[in-house]
Structure 1
Amino acid sequence: MNDLITFYNELDQIASNTWPAEITAYLDNWQLRATQGVTKRANSVLASGDYPTTADWLPLIEQFYAGKSLPAIFQISDASPPDLDAMLHTQGYVSELPCLMMFATAQETAALAQQKLQLKLHVPITAEWVNEVDDEWLDAFLILENYDKSLKECYKGICDRISKTKGFVKLIKDNQIIAVGTAIVEGEWAGFLNVVVSEKERGQGLSYNLIYALSAWSLEHGAAQQYLQVVASNSAAVSLYEKLGYETKYRYHYRIKYDLRPFASS
C-alpha cells in the first residue's frame, strides 16, 4: 500500500469515527454499519483497504443487511480496492451520491473566514457551544435540514456515540437558532459535519460565521488540520469551502443494491 492510499485509509477511519453506527460488525478491516436506515454513512460498508480474506464476503455482507431489513450499500473511496466499483456494478449495484473529501489547515481557514466576515454587513450573531448534544440543538438541526422529527432519537444516538472530543455549535440571532454545526477532533484532525444555515438567512455571510466558529474551536482543541465531506453536486457549498482554503484530496460514492427502504438523508 503506497503512502497516498495509506493516507486515504487513515482518513476514512477517522471520518468514520465522527458518525458512529448503532451496530458495527467487521470483515477484517471493512466496517459493516447499520443504524435503522438513517443516513447512508451509518448504514453502509466502509470498504477501506484490501478485500476481506473470506471468499464469500459479498453474500455475508448482503445477509448482514438483509437480516436488518436494509439494502446492501458500500461506501467506496480512493482507499477501496480499485476493481471493487466495477465488480459491484456487475452484481446489480447502482452508483449514487458522489462526495468530496475536502481538506484545509485550521489557521488558514479561520483567517480567511474572518477576512470574509469583515467584508459583510455586521449582523449580531452569538455562537453557543455544548459538549454533548441537547434537545435544543437537535430540534434546530432537524428543522434547518427539513428532516422529520421522528429521526431525532437516531441522530441523538449517533451524536451520543461519538467518543472523540466533540462540540455542537448554535448560531443565534434575535433569540432564534439560525445555524448549527458539529466539530469533532481526533489527534491533529478536526472533522466538520451537520453544517447547515437557515434557508431564509442565507446570503448574509453566516456560513463564514459558522466555519470560523468551528475552526476557532478546533484550534483551541489542538487540531491543526480539518476536513469536510460534501456532496459533489452541491456547487454552492464546494465553492464556499474553496474560498476558505479547502482543497479536494479524494472522493467517495455509494454502490447500492436496492431492497427494502429509502434513506432519510445522505
Structure 2
Amino acid sequence: MDFDRLVHEAWPAYEQRAHDGWVLRWAGGVTKRANSVLATSPPADLDGAIRAAEAFYGERGQRCVFSVGVGAPAGLGEELERRGYELVDPTLVMAGTPKGELARGVRVEERPWPGWLETWWAVDGRYGSGLEEAGRICAGVPAWYAAYEEDGVPLAVGRAVPQGDTLGIYCMATLPEARRRGLARTVLRALVARAGEGFGSAYLVVTAGNAGAQALYRSEGFEIAGRYHYRVR
C-alpha cells in the first residue's frame, strides 16, 4: 500500500508545486504534513531540487521541511543530514480492519462544524492562529467528521477519508478532561461504521512516542505497516 500517496491525498496542501518529480506543499504553515516536500522519486538533479525546495519555502517565510517515507529516494536522508537538516517527529503508519459501531451521543457530518474544529484545535492546535488554514486543509477532500458530544460540546473527535477501498483515519483528539472514558474508541468505531462495508482496510498515523494511542489502535485491529519522519532545516 502506498502510504506516502494516501497521506498526501488525505491531508491536501492547498498550494502544490511539482519540481523534478517532487511535490512542494504549502498550507499556511499549518502542520508539517501539508507544508513539506513529498519526495518519492529520485530527481535528475538532487542538489538543484533541494535548492529549489529551500527557495520555495524561503519565499513563504518557512524553514524547508522534507517528509521522508518508505518511498523517499535512496540517500536523501543522508544528504539532508549532511546539510544540517534535523530528524524530527518519527511517525508510525498503522493499518488494519477495525470494526464499526455507531453509539448514542456521536454526531457524524460530511463537513467539519465549528465545535468539531475547536475541539480538535484545542488538542492539536500547535500553530497559534492557524485554525482557518486547518479547516481549509480538512475540507480539501471528501471526508466524514465524527464527535462524541455532551450538552452539544464535542469531547472527542475524528476524521475519516474514503480513498477507494481504503479508509484514512485522521484528527483523532480528546479533550484532556474527557480522557480515559473510551471516547476515542467510540469515535473511531463511529467513523468505521459510517464508511460501511465499502472498504477493505483502514490506516492511520500516530507519533512513534505515543504509546497510549498505539495501544488503543492495536486493540482495534491496527498494526504497524510503515514509518516516516521529517527532516527540518
TM-score of the pair, normalised by structure 2:
0.92
Q: Would you say the 8 A contact 1:101–1:230 is kept in 2?
A: yes
Q: Percent identity?
A: 30
* Structure 2 residue 97 is matched with structure 1 residue 135: no
State the Cα distance separating 1:174 from its structure 2 match. Answer: 3.6
Partner of 1:250: 226
Tell me, which stretches of 5 or more residues in structure 1 are unaligned?
A: 1-6, 118-123, 258-266
Moved more, 190-199 or 201-210: 201-210
Structure richer in helix, relative to its length: 1
State the Cα distance separating 1:82 from its structure 2 match. Answer: 2.6
For 1:64, which of 56, 64, 69 is the aligned residue? Answer: 56
SS in 2 for 1:184: strand
State the Cα distance separating 1:157 from its structure 2 match. Answer: 1.1
SS in 2 for 1:196: strand
Q: Would you say the 8 A contact 1:22–1:34 is kept in 2?
A: yes
State the Cα distance separating 1:46 from its structure 2 match. Answer: 1.1
Moved more, 166-175 or 245-254: 166-175
For 2:81, which of 75, 89, 96 is the aligned residue? Answer: 89
Q: Please give the alpha-carbon distance, in whole angstroms, between the structure 2 residues aligned to 1:254 and 1:62.
A: 15
Q: Deviations over 1:117-139 (max 9, x none)?
A: 9xxxxxx8411111122222212
Tell me, which stretches of 5 or more residues in structure 2 are unaligned?
A: none
TM-score of the pair, normalised by structure 1:
0.81
Q: How does 1:116-131 map to 2 (within 5 A)?
A: 125-131=104-110
Q: Give the aligned CA root-mean-square deviation in angstroms.
A: 1.9
Q: Please give the alpha-carbon distance, in whole angstroms, between the structure 2 residues aligned to 1:143 and 1:80.
A: 33
Tell me which amino acid in the other structure corresponds to 2:122.
I
Q: Would you say the 8 A contact 2:115–2:153 is kept in 1?
A: no
Partner of 2:173: 196
Tell me which amino acid in the other structure corresponds to 1:67.
E
State the Cα distance separating 1:77 from its structure 2 match. Answer: 0.7
Tell me which amino acid in the other structure corresponds to 2:162.
V
Q: Would you say the 8 A contact 1:104–1:226 is kept in 2?
A: yes
Tell me which amino acid in the other structure corresponds to 1:77.
G
Tell me which amino acid in the other structure corresponds to 2:99.
A
Aligned residues: 232
* Structure 2 residue 84 is matched with structure 1 residue 102: no
Partner of 1:31: 23
